[in-house]
Amino acid sequence: MSLPPANANGAVNGVGAEDRAASGTATEGRTAAEGRAQGGSASFQDMWRELLPVGRHQDSGGYRRYAWTGADADCRAWFRAQAEARGLSYEVDRNGNQWAWLGDPLAGDAVVAGSHLDSVPDGGAFDGPLGVVSSFAALDELRRRGAEFTRPLAIGNFGDEEGARFGLACVGSRLAAGQLTVEAAHRLRDGDGITLPQAMEAAGYDPDAIGPDPERLARIGAFVELHVEQGRALDLTGDPVGIASAIWPHGRWRFDFRGEANHAGTTRLADRRDPMLTYAETVLAARREAELAGALATFGKISVEPNGVNAIPSLVRGWLDSRAADQAALDAVVSGVERAAREHAERAGIDLDVVRESFTPVVEFEHALRDELGRILAGRDGADRAVPVLGTGAGHDAGILSASVPTAMLFVRNPTGISHSPAEHAGEDDCVAGVIALADVLEGLACS
């Protein structure tokens, strides 16, 4: 089998996924429905092809699937079509997360697989969708095997995982888990000043319904998120699939540097209050502090006012993303960056505000479930050694939900480690290995 590369050209932004899925797009002479009848690996390929053009930008080849936009709606329509094509009961929860159920959603002790379909700006095809597509394909594989389910099974698509539009990651799972208050969610705004409630309403969802969903989460006995690895650990060990141990503590901080707008061609250097300079010193400080602490720090987003090529800026707003293996190292980086920013601001007559916009403490995935995954995967025919267990610096819905639900993650090898980029990739055989591993895990957890 062959999968198209993640950054193949010819994509159309906002293609009507519902129409495509409903008409059963033919690939290699086979319809999606026929593919499903052949089990997980064939249906994976068909689903992958169907989803690939949705929200992909023609020029960059990257994905722009932002929450509550047209591309997001197309992804959601695709999810719904996949659920309905399999005879699963489909529902959207109060926070806009999508669910496809096999068995009684109210019975309790459900096993849930899934991930997200939204993307970072110009993201790759795999971060998120690999987990959702693999979940449907794993179900197809289990049906092909004639598996008998003893627990309800669901597949989930969690809304706004990347936080690309409103700045806060994992909004759907955070709301459900009560880790984001309704008031704070209602205050979220995108770059155009559109609030989250306005965006939800425009997309046909009720923003007044959002809020904690403890009864729903209490009915889940295990959540397993399969995800493309966002590093090269599996490439180095030579394994197609791994199990997550922990997620590093991480957060986002907004730095507002305010100076004085003035003419770029007439204002003497000595007379300027240029916040761009203080911002630049702060970026360098972030790199130094991260190196000192053995941590990570990134300024990847900036907004400038008035944003004119011939005007000294009045405001530079930069967002720091920082992550570390432990809390002490993360604290050291963030306080070191803020200290440096304040010192430079003071000297240059710049006003500085620093606001923590989000924070996720370290997540240690539940040992019992993680060990069970390890046993299931190591006990398979042909398995000659234990599956690697690895930590990650990337955030996930599984990390948020782990406070409420026993949660585990599977990683699929990423040969370059590149992620959050159109070049993100996983090999076709590894994707299939991921589907089979997930099917084995779901069979071990949910079948007799």
Binding site for ligand GLV (CB under 6 A): 162, 169, 394-395
- The stretch near Mn ion (CB under 5 A) out of 122-130, 189-197, 268-276, 398-406 is 122-130
The least CB distance from residue 379 to Mn ion, in Å, is: 28
The least CB distance from residue 185 to ligand GLV, in Å, is: 18
Question: Strand pairing of 407-412 and 220-228?
Answer: parallel
127 lines the binding site for Mn ion (CB under 5 A): yes
The least CB distance from residue 139 to ligand GLV, in Å, is: 25
CB of 376 or CB of 409, closer to ligand GLV: 409
Dihedrals phi, psi of 262, to nearest 5 degrees: -165, 175
Binding residue for Mn ion, selected from 128, 172, 197, 231, defined by CB under 5 A: 128
* Cα distance between residue 417 and residue 307, in whole Å: 34
Of 447, 378, 430, the C-alpha closest to 48 is: 430
440 lines the binding site for Mn ion (CB under 5 A): no
* Cα distance between residue 322 and residue 445, in whole Å: 35
Amino acid identity at 422: P
CA angle 410, 411, 412 (to 5 degrees): 125
- Contact partners, residue 297, CB within 8 Å, separation at least 6: 286, 287, 289, 290, 320, 321, 322, 333, 337
CB of 133 or CB of 439, closer to ligand GLV: 133
C-beta separation of 445 from 144 below 8 A: no
The least CB distance from residue 84 to ligand GLV, in Å, is: 29
Number of residues located near Mn ion, criterion CB under 5 A = 2
CB of 162 or CB of 440, closer to ligand GLV: 162
CB of 131 or CB of 313, closer to ligand GLV: 131
* Cα distance between residue 274 and residue 259, in whole Å: 6
CB of 127 or CB of 274, closer to Mn ion: 127
The least CB distance from residue 162 to ligand GLV, in Å, is: 6
CB of 296 or CB of 432, closer to ligand GLV: 296
3 state SS of 147: coil
CB of 31 or CB of 298, closer to ligand GLV: 298
User: Residue 400's binding partner, choosing from ligand GLV, Mn ion, none, with beta-carbon cut-off 5 to 8 A by kind?
Assistant: none
The least CB distance from residue 378 to ligand GLV, in Å, is: 28
The least CB distance from residue 169 to ligand GLV, in Å, is: 5
β-bridge mates for residue 352, sequence order: 257
Segment (H or E) for 131: helix 129-145
C-beta separation of 325 from 294 below 8 A: yes
Query: What residue ranges bind Mn ion (CB under 5 A)?
Result: 127-128
